[in-house]
Amino acid sequence: MSDQVLAQRADTLLGLHKPGDPVVLPTVWDAWSAALAVDAGFVALTVGSHPVADSVGKPDGEGMTFEDLLTRVAQITAKVDVPISVDIESGYGLTAEDLIGGLLRVGAVGLNIEDSVHSEGKRLRSVEEHAALVRALRQAADDAGVHVVINARTDLFVRKDGDESDRVDRAIARLKEAAAAGADCLYPVGRHDPDTLERLASELPLPINAIALPDQDDPASFGPLGVGRISFGPFFQGALTARANEILGRWS
């Protein structure tokens, strides 16, 4: 894929992020699920580390390698002609240059980056450390000539880190630093009540990514809260698994 095409796809992906009119990026894991989503009318996708790891028989949390992930992403970008973002977990211990270079090599133009470090006992990066990583990723993308869309994620909520009374405040402070470092979208990953989502969307300076249960949530409920991006995490694969179990259970 040429640098020009990559740059155009990255710009297209970035332009889809509109607070109040969120882009839905179905979370896919292989060429089949990607084609399914594109055939349904979606114009961009995200590749989830958890469902990819499940599909290759390895645990989530960097149980697979970056090359394992890139192999799958290459299969997806060869199958569908839409912008692709990729969950790169906490970065697999690689440099920003290696991460950006690998993604561009297989045709991806966006990424999620977590602030948990799986290779170091799942410790939480400091605010400054996570911002520095975002800054390095932005610089590497700039050097490559492609505005890779960086979705900076914090795991404070899913980890239940620290006291609950100020967790939202700490998440906002952390994500504001990631925004200042060059992120394009902010991902306070977790299932949030409407008031919390609305507060996050109103106080953060960039579009926020909400996670949805695709078989249960109301698609129209996120826009009024100010959300700019919706993805499914492992829940799309999980919903299909539940249905497959029903079908297979009739025959077992």
CA atoms within 13 A of residue 167's CA, in its CB half-sphere: 17
Find out whether 172 and 37 touch, Cβ atoms under 8 Å.
Answer: no
Distance between the two ends of the chain, CA-based, in angstroms?
45
pLDDT in tens, the chain (252 residues): 899 999 999 999 999 999 999 999 999 999 999 999 999 999 999 999 999 999 999 999 999 999 999 999 999 999 999 999 999 999 999 999 999 999 999 999 999 999 999 999 999 999 999 999 999 999 999 999 999 999 999 999 999 989 999 999 999 999 999 999 999 999 999 999 999 999 999 999 999 999 999 999 999 999 999 999 999 999 999 999 999 999 999 999
pTM of this structure: 0.96
pLDDT at position 1 is 84
Strand-pairing partners, residue 187, are 153
Q: Looking only at Cα atoms, what is the longest distance across the chain? A: 55
pLDDT at position 240 is 97
Please tell us whether the domain made up of 3-249 is placed in CATH 3.40.50.10190.
no
Neighbouring C-beta atoms of residue 69, cutoff 10 Å:
25
Element (H, E) at 4: helix 3-15
Secondary structure (3-state) at 62: coil
Find out whether 112 and 151 touch, Cβ atoms under 8 Å.
Answer: yes
pLDDT at position 119 is 92
Angle at the Cα of 163 from the Cα atoms of 60 and 123, rounded to 5 degrees: 35
Find out whether 74 and 101 touch, Cβ atoms under 8 Å.
Answer: no
Q: What are phi and psi of 205, to 5 degrees?
A: -85, -5
